[in-house]
């Protein structure tokens, strides 16, 4: 009975993760669609310049290859990557996923290694894909006012990337690297988490962590500034 309840709880958690990601992706798509629509309307009206519904960030500076490499090393080996992995391992420990790894220090160590391994693969794949696609996945604070618009911006930014001109569209490099890593990591997972549903759940967890960090960046910029300093 207890095992059945645990299994149902895990299934509900997976459904929640997928639902949240789907909502956030739709939110991000609205940002991109609004921008493309604004551009088309600007052209139709004969404007000499492209008019966008979501203009580029006022302080945006085009990302150089040196910037991209620096961000890659900071993401793959920096404190944030460790914190993400510690948090991911903690969530998995709380959910007892995968159950074969058990509890205690040994179980947590395995989950941390798994979480950090996925983080490293994601960062590496996103670095390569973003270089080819000229996508900038850095987070820039919003220029909005009010809690709601800023929160919406932070969530959408987890699924959007900037192009060389500063315009924002759905981030192919982020989504593809996160999804690919979720399935690649099934190769070292035990039987209970080796299937596609667990891969989708892993994808949802990784995107959820990105959303949380971006919301924190938006509303607690002083903390991240102190960390950088």
- DSSP secondary structure string for all residues of 148-161: HHHHHHHHHHTSEE
For 158, list phi and psi in degrees, rounded to 5.
-70, -15
Q: What is the token pair recorded at 123?
A: 């960062």
Whether 35 and 52 have beta carbons less than 8 Å apart is answered as: yes
Residues of the chain with pLDDT below 70 are 1-56, 224-229
- With b for 16 or more beta-carbon neighbours within 10 A and e for fewer, the 57-77 pattern comes to eeebeebeeeebeebbeebbe
* Stretch (H or E) spanning 13: helix 2-44
* Stretch (H or E) spanning 177: helix 172-184
Among 217, 176, 179, residue whose Cα is nearest residue 200 = 179
Whether 190 and 98 have beta carbons less than 8 Å apart is answered as: yes
- Could you give the residue ranges of the DSSP H alpha helices within 45-103? 65-77, 79-95
pTM above 0.95, yes or no: no
- Give the pLDDT score at 60: 86
- Give the pLDDT score at 147: 95
From its phi and psi, is residue 166 left (phi > 0), alpha (psi between -120 and 50) or beta? left
Whether 64 and 149 have beta carbons less than 8 Å apart is answered as: no
Whether 72 and 123 have beta carbons less than 8 Å apart is answered as: yes
pLDDT tens-digit map of 129-185: 999 999 999 999 998 889 999 999 999 999 999 999 899 999 999 999 999 999 999
Domain ranges of the chain: 2-49+63-228
- Give the pLDDT score at 223: 72
- Give the pLDDT score at 227: 53
Whether 98 and 193 have beta carbons less than 8 Å apart is answered as: yes
DSSP state of 135: -
């Amino acid at each position: 009975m207890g095992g059945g309840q645990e299994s149902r709880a895990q299934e509900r958690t997976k459904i929640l993760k997928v639902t949240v990601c789907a909502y956030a992706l739709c939110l991000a798509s609205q940002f991109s669609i609004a921008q493309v629509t604004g551009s088309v309307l600007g052209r139709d009206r004969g404007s000499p310049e492209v008019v966008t519904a979501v203009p580029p960030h006022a302080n945006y500076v085009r990302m150089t290859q040196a910037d991209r490499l620096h961000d890659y090393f900071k993401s793959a080996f920096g404190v944030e990557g460790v914190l993400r992995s510690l948090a991911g391992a903690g969530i998995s420990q709380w959910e007892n996923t995968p159950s074969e790894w058990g509890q205690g220090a040994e179980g947590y160590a395995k989950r941390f290694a798994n979480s950090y391994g996925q983080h490293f693969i994601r960062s590496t794949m996103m670095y390569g894909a973003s270089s080819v696609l000229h996508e900038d996945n850095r987070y820039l604070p919003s220029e909005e006012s009010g809690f709601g618009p800023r929160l919406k911006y932070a969530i959408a930014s987890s699924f959007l990337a900037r192009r060389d001109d500063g315009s924002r569209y759905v981030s192919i490099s982020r989504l593809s690297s996160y999804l690919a890593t979720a399935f690649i990591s099934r190769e070292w997972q035990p039987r209970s988490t080796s299937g596609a549903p667990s891969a989708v759940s892993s994808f949802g967890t990784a995107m959820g962590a990105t959303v949380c960090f971006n919301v924190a960046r938006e509303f607690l910029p002083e903390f991240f500034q102190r960390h950088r300093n």
